[in-house]
Amino acid sequence: MIDTIATDSRTAVLGLGVTGMSCVRYLQSTGSDVSAFDSGFSEQAAIDFQQQFPEVPLYVGEFDGAALQQYRTLLVSPGISLDLPAIQQALASGAQLRSDIDLLIAQIEQPVIAITGSNGKTTVTTLVGLMAPRVSTLQFQIEFLKQTLNPWKVLWEMLRI
């Protein structure tokens, strides 16, 4: 299902900040039929976008539900509310919701450790970085995790390996 992003003939990228621009760049490189939407683009930003991506249609202004219904996939940038009526209208008509993470995961075959949240990402990233070289694979043994309820014990055991 995730693979449809790269081959789907109609993908709309909503939001053209850093994430949205990287998604447009990637999708265009795969030959996808991609269109770009942004509700707060300045006139100069639109000119710059069209110079960088001359084949990508750009729609600036409030998101239009009828226009978004024409796309099979909506790739919505972080910070854009999924509760917007235009997005809800497109989803109700059958559009699939995807993200930049979907694009990444579809391209890699190795195990991934995703660290998200509002607090503690730097600490957890540091701990994972210390643990990873000490294990033969990055996959935890499910049986080991089921047998312990203490995450600090799991951490200690991994650091001892």
E strand or H helix at 150, and its extent? none
> Residue 116: inside a domain, yes or no?
no
- Structural domain count, the chain: 2
What distance lies between CA 140 and its chain's CA centroid?
A: 25
Q: In which band, very low, low, confident or very high, does the pLDDT at 2 lie, cut at 50, 70 and 90?
A: very low
Question: Does residue 115 belong to any structural domain of this protein?
Answer: no
Q: Based on the domain organization, do 94 and 55 belong to the same domain?
A: yes
What pLDDT does residue 39 have?
93
Closest residue by Cα to residue 68 from 46, 49, 42, 95: 95
92 & 21 share domain: yes
Q: In this structure, are 67 and 145 located in the same domain?
A: no
**Arithmetic mean of pLDDT, 148-161:** 51
Residue 102 clears pLDDT 70, i.e. is over it:
yes
- Indicate if 87 and 17 belong to the same structural domain: yes
The bridge status of strand 96-98 relative to strand 11-14 is: unpaired
Whether residue 64 sits in one domain with residue 125: no
* H-helix segments, the chain: 4-7, 18-29, 43-52, 65-68, 85-92, 100-107, 121-131, 142-147, 151-160
Tell me the range of 32-36, 38-42, 75-79, 101-105 where mean pLDDT is highest: 32-36
The model's pTM: 0.69
Measuring CA to CA, which residue among 59, 64, 72, 65 is closest to residue 11? 72
Does one domain contain both 96 and 139? Answer: no
* Domain identity same for 8 and 86: yes
**Residues of the domain holding 145:** 121-160
What tens digit of pLDDT does each residue of 52-97 get?
A: 999 999 999 999 999 999 999 999 998 899 999 999 999 999 999 9
pLDDT tens-digit map of 9-32 = 799 999 998 889 999 999 998 889
Pair 22, 93 in one domain: yes
Confidence of residue 136 (pLDDT cuts 50, 70, 90): low
Query: Residue 60 has which token pair?
Result: 């600036």
Q: Do 145 and 97 share a domain, yes or no? A: no
Q: Is residue 73 part of a domain?
A: yes
Q: Are residues 130 and 101 in the same domain?
A: no
Quick one: pLDDT at residue 67?
Answer: 95
Same domain flag for 14 and 92: yes
| Predicted local confidence at residue 135, as pLDDT | 65
